[in-house]
């Protein structure tokens, strides 16, 4: 199954956190990292006073079921020092399952497509970089959503 994973970090060398997370995702059993978008800097969403984020999207091919993939991603977050204290607070690493094939999942632990995709250009732009003709399971075009998303001071970084 093809899955798109959102990556974000704004603590402890964010660029390196994302690159290391991509390497770790490629080591998940029955999973292969197909490619990664360019890195982007974005203004933080959530509590004020946080550093800017570095964001990207990774495209995976996986044989894991969605919740098993979620478990593996949360283990990578934990290995990178992720501490869950304040919602939308600063973090060393955030890995979100954005899309899992064309599936729609609404469980206690997981919502796919990620419910905030339409309002986050720091997710939509990297998604569009990887799959410019992508449509969400709802039928919404990533390109159309990107044009309507808040600007959020998005800046492409050099790799």
Active-site residue, selected from the candidate residues 36, 41, 94, 120: 94
Tell whether the torsion through CA atoms of 113, 35, 21 and 7 is positive or negative.
negative
Q: Which of 82, 102, 120, 159 is catalytic?
A: 82
Which of the residues 36, 41, 96, 120 is marked catalytic? Answer: 96
In 3D, which of 128, 125, 55, 65 has the Cα closest to residue 96?
55
Of the residues 91, 109, 120, 133, only one is catalytic, namely 91
**Secondary structure (DSSP) of 59-121:** EEEE-S-HHHHHHHHHHHHHHTT----STT---S-EEEEEEETT--EE-SS-EES-TTGGG-H
96 among known catalytic residues: yes
Whether residue 82 lies in the annotated active site: yes
SS3 6: strand
- Token pair 């094939």 is found at 101
Q: Is 52 annotated as catalytic?
A: no
Instruction: Burial-class residue 54 by CB neighbours within 10 Å (0-12, 13-18, 19+).
Output: buried
Residue 91 annotated to the active site: yes
Known catalytic residues? Answer: 82, 91, 94, 96
């Amino acid at each position: 199954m093809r899955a798109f994973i959102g990556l974000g970090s704004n603590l402890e060398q964010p660029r390196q956190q994302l690159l290391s997370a991509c390497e770790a995702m490629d080591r998940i059993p029955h999973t292969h990292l197909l490619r990664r978008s360019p890195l982007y800097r974005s203004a933080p969403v959530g509590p004020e006073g946080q550093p800017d984020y570095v964001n990207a999207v990774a495209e995976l091919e996986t044989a894991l079921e969605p919740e098993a993939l979620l478990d593996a991603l949360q283990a990578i977050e934990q290995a990178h020092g992720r501490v869950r204290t304040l919602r939308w607070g600063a973090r060393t690493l955030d890995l979100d399952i954005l899309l899992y094939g064309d599936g729609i999942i609404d469980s206690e632990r997981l919502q796919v497509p990620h419910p905030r995709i339409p309002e986050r250009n720091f997710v939509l732009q990297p998604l569009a970089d990887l799959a410019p003709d992508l449509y969400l399971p709802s039928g919404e075009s990533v390109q159309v959503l990107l044009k309507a998303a808040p600007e959020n001071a998005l800046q492409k970084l050099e790799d």
